[in-house]
């Protein structure tokens, strides 16, 4: 195998990693009622089958990025696949609520090792050639929405025609294949001397977990209740402690001065708000299809395929050309604006609606916005850091997106419930709830566009002829 083709095979494995860690957030959605019935989950605890994964994933990403820098990205990448394999096996075999949630957290920990090391490996393979890097990031970025939709689709097929444990077992052969391919395809990378900030890792994970728990529980116990405010205050205290720990340590988990790099903080805010808008849209669109339009699991997943196909085309073919011509900042702002428009259109869904009128056109507009904003904000966040801190920058941007996803979904769930989404069987009330969630997510996307417009620094614009030549090579 030539070195050139080996790099692209390695990129395929990196994209597969991104596909899998995102798929694992969505594949359990359709299976939740069966899991609830078999393991005895209460309605209050059921959402933690999703949240246990996301909180462990988001909370440990910075640690994963630091480990990648210290121990070598290839080694951490392989370790992450091993942890994911173990967590998936236990999740499928679980016979109690506690074991299921613990296994989901283990899966999230594996994903937190895989994601930042994958991006570090991508930068090692393609970072020296900007034109190929844009193309590589486009393929990597397209794997995320593909994984999200494939999770819904596969979750429906597996739950309907096999059994729910297989939504976890499906990871095992893929993880085994990745473990076999990693030594042959991935660059070894070097190790660096340094220490791990375990206390900081605990503080940030506890803080993020408490924040998600407080927001998820708030609609049930009340936003004004002492329990809600106590949990959220604890989350704020833990996150403040994390910042203080990072400021005081010689070798912190996250060097705070990294945010002095031009555009790094701004690009991470864009990624956070992009996740906070996109994931609730995907989540409630699936519920609208099933609970209002009456789709079963399989057709519901299939209905999201046009959106996924457009995102993949947009990220691979359109976004690189647009970035080459206009630069990253205009594309981030434009993408978030288009996403906000699509979400506002989705907010017009009707109880007696149809897929072709109420879902398809608006979801395609939203998908176009996602495809335009994701790649330039991701690339800006990673390339703003020093090369030796690629793992840390990768961990930060993944954390931003995952934390935005978790908090955005928790907040929009609260909005939807307060507007009627908790009244199962009442189609007008359900539609009002989902509409409110779409509108709220649209506001988050619009806020992201405004903030990106103010905070991102524009890059030098390329001459048109040079941009067109580069776009042709990228595409």
Task: Report whether 155 contacts 26 (CB < 8 A).
Answer: yes
Query: What is the per-residue pLDDT for 3?
Result: 65
Give the Cα-Cα-Cα angle 22, 195, 86 (nearest 5 degrees). 35
Distance CA 173, CA 15 (A): 17
Burial of 388 (0-12, 13-18, 19+ CB in 10 A): exposed
CA distance to 219, 286, 288, 293, 336, per residue, from 419 (Å): 11, 18, 14, 19, 25
Distance CA 323, CA 329 (A): 9
Confidence at 370, pLDDT banded by 50, 70, 90: very high
Confidence at 465, pLDDT banded by 50, 70, 90: very low
pTM equals 0.78
Task: Report whether 435 contacts 463 (CB < 8 A).
Answer: no
Distance CA 143, CA 151 (A): 12
Query: What is the per-residue pLDDT for 469?
Result: 37
| CB burial string 146-183: b at 16+ within 10 A, e below | bbbbbbbbbbbbbbeeeebbbbbbbbbebbeebeebbe
Structure tokens, 4: 């050139």
Query: What is the per-residue pLDDT for 171?
Result: 94
Inform me whether the pLDDT recorded for 42 exceeds 80.
Answer: no
164/192: higher pLDDT? 164
Confidence at 17, pLDDT banded by 50, 70, 90: very high
Inform me whether the pLDDT recorded for 464 exceeds 50.
Answer: no
Residue found under tokens 């793992």:
391
Burial of 248 (0-12, 13-18, 19+ CB in 10 A): exposed
Average of pLDDT values for 56-62?
80
57 C-beta neighbours (distance < 10 Å), count: 32
CA distance to 103, 112, 159, 188, 405, per residue, from 90 (Å): 6, 18, 18, 30, 25
Structure tokens, 102: 């613990």
Inform me whether the pLDDT recorded for 257 exceeds 50.
Answer: yes
pLDDT in tens, 93-113: 999 999 999 999 999 999 989
Inform me whether the pLDDT recorded for 270 exceeds 90.
Answer: yes
Query: What is the per-residue pLDDT for 425?
Result: 82
Query: What is the per-residue pLDDT for 29?
Result: 72
Average of pLDDT values for 245-269?
84
Inform me whether the pLDDT recorded for 12 exceeds 70.
Answer: yes
Phi and psi at 459, nearest 5°, equal -90, 160
Query: What is the per-residue pLDDT for 405?
Result: 82
Going by C-alpha positions, the residue among 394, 416, 441 that lies closest to residue 276 is: 441
pLDDT in tens, 187-240: 876 666 667 778 888 898 888 878 877 877 777 788 789 999 999 999 999 999
Burial of 111 (0-12, 13-18, 19+ CB in 10 A): buried
Query: What is the per-residue pLDDT for 436?
Result: 96
């Amino acid at each position: 195998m030539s070195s050139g083709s080996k790099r692209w095979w390695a990129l395929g494995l990196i994209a597969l990693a991104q596909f899998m860690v995102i798929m694992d957030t969505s594949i359990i959605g359709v299976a939740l009622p069966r899991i609830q019935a078999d393991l005895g989950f209460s309605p209050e605890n059921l959402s933690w089958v999703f949240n246990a994964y996301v909180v462990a994933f988001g909370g440990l990403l910075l640690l994963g990025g630091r480990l990648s820098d210290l121990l070598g990205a290839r080694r951490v990448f392989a370790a992450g696949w091993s942890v994911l394999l173990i967590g998936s096996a236990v999740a499928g075999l679980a016979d109690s609520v506690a074991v299921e949630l613990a296994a989901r957290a283990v899966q999230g920990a594996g994903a937190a090792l895989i994601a930042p090391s994958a991006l570090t490996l991508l930068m090692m393979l393609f970072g020296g050639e900007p034109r190929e890097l844009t193309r590589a990031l486009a393929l990597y970025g397209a794997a995320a929405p593909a994984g999200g939709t494939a999770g819904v689709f596969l979750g429906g097929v597996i739950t309907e025609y096999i059994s729910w444990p297989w939504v976890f077992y499906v990871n095992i052969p893929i993880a085994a294949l990745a473990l076999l391919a990693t030594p042959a395809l991935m660059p070894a990378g070097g190790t660096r001397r340094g220490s791990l900030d375990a206390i900081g890792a605990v503080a940030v994970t506890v803080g993020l977990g408490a924040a998600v728990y407080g927001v998820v529980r708030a609609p049930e116990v009340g936003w004004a209740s002492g329990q809600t405010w106590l949990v959220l205050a604890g989350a704020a205290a833990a996150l403040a402690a994390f910042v203080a720990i990072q400021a005081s340590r010689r070798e912190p988990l996250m060097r705070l001065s990294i945010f002095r790099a031009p555009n790094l903080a701004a690009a991470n805010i864009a990624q956070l708000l992009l996740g906070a808008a996109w994931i609730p849209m995907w989540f409630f669109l699936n519920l609208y299809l099933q609970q209002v339009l009456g789709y079963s699991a399989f057709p519901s997943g299939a209905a999201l395929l046009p959106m996924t196909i457009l995102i993949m085309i947009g990220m691979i073919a359109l976004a690189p050309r647009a970035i080459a011509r206009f630069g990253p900042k205009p594309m981030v702002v434009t993408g978030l604006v288009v996403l906000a428009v699509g979400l506002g259109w989705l907010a017009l869904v009707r109880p007696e609606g149809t897929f072709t009128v109420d879902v398809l056109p608006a979801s395609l507009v939203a998908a176009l916005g996602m495809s335009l904003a994701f790649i330039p904000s991701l690339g800006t966040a990673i390339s703003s850091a020093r090369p030796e801190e690629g793992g840390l920058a990768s961990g930060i941007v993944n954390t931003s997106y995952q934390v935005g996803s978790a908090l955005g979904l928790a907040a929009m769930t609260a909005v939807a419930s307060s507007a009627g989404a908790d009244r199962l069987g009442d189609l007008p009330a359900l539609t009002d709830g989902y509409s409110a969630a779409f509108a709220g997510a649209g506001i988050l996307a619009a806020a992201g566009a405004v903030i990106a417009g103010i905070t991102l620094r524009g890059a030098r614009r390329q001459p048109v002829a040079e941009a067109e030549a580069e776009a042709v090579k990228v595409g």
